[in-house]
Amino acid sequence: MMKKKEKSAAQVSEHAALIRCPICGGEMHVETLASLVCSNSHAFDFSKQGYVNMLNKPVTTQYDQTLFENRRDFILESGFYSRMHGVVVDIIHHLGTDDMTVLDAGSGEGSHMERILAGVEGKHLGFGIDIAKEGILMAAKNYPDSIWFVGDLANLPLKDSSCDVILNILSPANYSEFSRVIKPDGVVIKVVPQSGYLGELREALYRDTDKAEYDNAGTVSLFEENFEVLERVQVKEKVMLDRAALANLIHMSPLAWNHEAGELDDFISEERPVTIDLEILVGRSAISV
Ligand SMILES: C[S@@+](CC[C@H](N)C(=O)[O-])C[C@H]1O[C@@H](n2cnc3c(N)ncnc32)[C@H](O)[C@@H]1O
Ligand SMILES: [Zn+2]
């Protein structure tokens, strides 16, 4: 039986035409079901779990394994993001293509893309890229049907015009790279937090200080400068979260960093409604207009 690593390598080999070397931009191919190698001999090994680390040098991030485990449980079990996933699935359906290449840029541990691809009809290829190794390692273990790279948004290991859809969910963006890898008729779907997002948690943490609100005006206008905006959808509702979901929430959120253990005991002591307030921006490459 093939090991996880070899299965991934075989799958990547089928799609190697979409991948480019992050060092020189050259063509890549899979050698001995063990590494991705470019025409200038830059080589990147498959890990035991099946992902490839495409960073030129190691990066340490504040996102660790515990945070990603809490994100996964929260995304899969709380129902908090179900409506957002539904809206994104509909947007992708409207593209009406059977066989799409989807990139999740800043994928974390991959559960958003997994849920979204599971909802879209047809057979689609998913690439997930994140700079945090702990997230990608978990993604490769849990979702072996997609291709997972540790990599930098600012230097995507994908060829020009290779993607039909770019997902960019609650993560930083790099619009020149997104413009380069998106197909002329592809779409970028960016999910950004709005002022009410997790308001109850922010109030519990910061009371009335300025930190209590997200301000996303800059994020939205930068998106508009780079893409022709086809659609903007707001997902805003209060979702009842049980104690397990609340515990996941406080451990998955950068908001709760730098707070003492115990400070949020009250917040998670009984079920409560928490606000989701997201804007989904759908953009098409401005060059194609
Ligand atoms: C708030 S998390 C969101 C992760 C995931 N989309 C989710 O919603 O669970 C932001 C993610 O962006 C990633 N990130 C930050 N800078 C990045 C970069 N330059 N390249 C790739 N990923 C990056 C982080 O590692 C982190 O996983
Ligand atoms: Zn190279």
Using the predicted structure, report yes or no on whether residue 262 has a pLDDT greater than 70: yes
CB 153 within 8 A of CB 175: no
Position 1 scores a pLDDT of: 77
More confident residue, 35 or 206: 35
112 lines ligand 1 (CB under 6 A): yes
Measure the CA–CA gap between 227 and 234, rounded to whole angstroms: 18
- What confidence tier does 125 reach under pLDDT thresholds 50, 70, 90? very high
Q: What is the pLDDT of residue 210?
A: 59
Stretch(es) of the chain classified as CATH 3.40.50.150: 56-288
Strands (E), the chain: 28-31, 35-38, 43-45, 52-53, 101-105, 125-130, 147-150, 163-169, 182-193, 227-241, 272-285
Contact in structure between 193 and 275 (CB atoms under 8 Å): no
Q: Percentage of the chain with pLDDT > 90?
A: 81
CATH number of 56-288: 3.40.50.150
Q: Give nearest CA residue, ligand 1 atom 9.
A: 108
| The pLDDT of residue 288 | 46
pLDDT digits (tens, 9 = 90+) for 29-73: 999 999 999 999 999 999 999 999 999 888 888 889 999 999 999
Tell me which DSSP letter residue 98 carries: S
Residue 21 in marked binding region? yes
- DSSP state at residue 210: G
Spatial separation of the C-alpha atoms in residues 117 and 243, rounded to whole Å: 28
Q: Is 163 annotated as a binding residue?
A: no
Cα(168) to ligand 1 centroid in Å equals 9
pLDDT band at 289 (very low <50, low <70, confident <90, very high): very low
Query: Which residues does residue 164 pair with via DSSP β-bridges, in sequence order?
Result: none
